[in-house]
Structure formats: C-alpha cells, structure tokens
Structure 1
Amino acid sequence: MLQRIQTIYLLISALVMGALYLWFPVVLDTSGNTIIDRSEPLVFILIFVSIALAIISILTFKKRQLQFVLNRLNIISNFVLLGVFVYRSLTLSGETLVSEKGIGVLLPIISIVFLVLANKAIKKDEDLVKSVDRLR
C-alpha cells in the first residue's frame, strides 16, 4: 500500500526537511552571513527527528494508528523547530539593521501542512476500513 496519497505527502515532507538541512541557510543578516545555521545541535537534532519520523511513518503503512501518532509527533517537532527559529531570530544581540529571514524559516510550516494532509488521508482510510468492517 505504498501507493497511497499519504505516502506522497510524507515523502514530500521528508524532502522539504532534507532541503532545509542541505541547501537553505536559516537566517541571514544584511551582509549575507548566516546567523542561525543548520549545524547547531538543537536544529540538527530536530531536523533529523523530523526526517526520521516521516520515513518511519512511510514504512509503517500497515499500522494506520501508529502512522497517525508518528505524524502527530512529527508535527510537534516541526513546531518546536519553528519556535527555535523564531526565538533565535528575535533575540539576536547587537543587530542594528533588520535581518533578512531566509526561506528556511518557512520550510517547517510547509512540512506541517503536508503532515496534516497525510493525517487527513490516514483518517479517511481508517474510517473506510471501519465502515467496511461494520457491513460484515
């Protein structure tokens, strides 16, 4: 059952978080230097947890309830990552000019959207299975 739509949503979510780690700096100052980098331990751990939870959720396609719980944990980890990004960008010391936020701050939000879509599809599958069991 890897051809279900929630698998595509979860794969896109994992790819978005992988893109966050590989290509995009998180916050840039006016001269182009990175202020918040992906090599910080907390940011690295949260990105790794998000990618790992999405992959594990893809591989547990037979257990829809576990998949649903893993996606919820992934959403929580993405909100924590987003909170870290916002906190770090708002508490920069010695900055006289407003820093330019990179696309990296928006990528956890995109990942959350795809995780919510995957949870909706999983819920729909679970409801379909329950309705078929009721008819038997």
Structure 2
Amino acid sequence: MLQRIQTIYLIISALVMGSLYVWFPLVQDAAGVVIIDRSEPLVFGLIFISIVLIIISILSFKKRQLQFVLNRLNIISNFVLLGVFVYRSLTLSGETLVSEKGIGVLLPIISIVFLVLANKAIKKDEDLVKSVDRLR
C-alpha cells in the first residue's frame, strides 16, 4: 500500500487539506480582524469531505477504479472549495491598504495537483495490469 507512489501523493494531499483546516482563518483585513472565521459550515464541510475521500481512497488500494473515481470526486470538491474561497475574497468590502488573503486560498490548488498526479499513477498501474492480462 505505501510502496505505491499514488498513496504517497494521496497522503501529501491529505496533509495539505489538514493544514488548511488548521490555518483556516483565511482572510484578515489590514487591522488583523478575521473576516472569514471557523463558523463557515460550507467550507468546513468541503474540507471534511475532501479528507474523508482521500482516506477512503487510500484504504481502497486494491480497487483501482474506485480509487480513480474517488479522486475525481475529490478534485471536484476541491474546485468547489476553491470557487468558494475566490468568491469570498472577491466580495469582501472595504479593502483599504493591505489585506492578507493567506496561503489557505492556494492549498486546494496544491491538493488538486497531487490528486491529479495520483490519478495518473493509478491509470499507469491499471494499464500495466491490463497489458499483463493480455499476455496470458
């Protein structure tokens, strides 16, 4: 299970999404006032769904097709999360001098990259198994 590269990619993606949960006060204004706080049920639901899908995908290492589909669903949920972050940051009012958007907006993009890499590795494994089955 851990010797496969896609598992490593999935673990990195889970760590990235876990760090998003830890660093969540994403948007602060110049005075340090938190604009988006930890009471956002949509954002935390999407983070939770992403982490759960990654864990299920890691544990279903023998079912490559299910793993592939779960990763695609996770990519979609990360795009929705990214859309929520972009929408919230664009609809902020009263940006005066400097606002700190934080690294939290970039973490779903990093997670998407690792999920795509994991899907490429899963596809490569599936193609290898199919080619060996043809030789029999």
TM-score by length of 1: 0.94
1:106 aligns with 2:98: no
1:89 aligns with 2:125: no
C-alpha contact 2:24 2:37 (8 A) present in aligned 1: no
Residue aligned with 2:35, SS: strand
Give the gaps of 5 or more residues in structure 2.
none
In structure 2, relative to structure 1, the CA distance for the partners of 1:113 and 1:38 (3 Å cut) is farther
Query: In proportion to residue count, which structure has more strand?
Result: 1
Deviation of 1:104 after TM superposition, in Å, equals 0.3
Partner letter of residue 83 of structure 1?
Answer: G
Q: What's the CA shift string for 1:10-40, capped at 9, x where partnerless?
A: 0110110000001342112111222122430
In structure 1, how many angstroms separate the alpha carbons of the residues matched to 2:38 and 2:108?
Answer: 13
In structure 2, how many angstroms separate the alpha carbons of the residues matched to 1:18 and 1:107?
Answer: 10
- Computed over aligned residues only, the root mean square deviation of the Cα atoms, in angstroms, reads 1.3
Match for residue 52 of structure 1? Answer: 52
C-alpha contact 1:53 1:74 (8 A) present in aligned 2: yes
Deviation of 1:98 after TM superposition, in Å, equals 4.7
What does residue range 39-78 of structure 1 map to in structure 2 within 5 Å? 39-78=39-78
TM-score by length of 2: 0.94
1:21 aligns with 2:21: yes
Give the gaps of 5 or more residues in structure 1.
none
Deviation of 1:41 after TM superposition, in Å, equals 0.3
Match for residue 135 of structure 1? Answer: 135
In structure 2, how many angstroms separate the alpha carbons of the residues matched to 1:86 and 1:36?
Answer: 12
In structure 1, how many angstroms separate the alpha carbons of the residues matched to 2:64 and 2:2?
Answer: 12
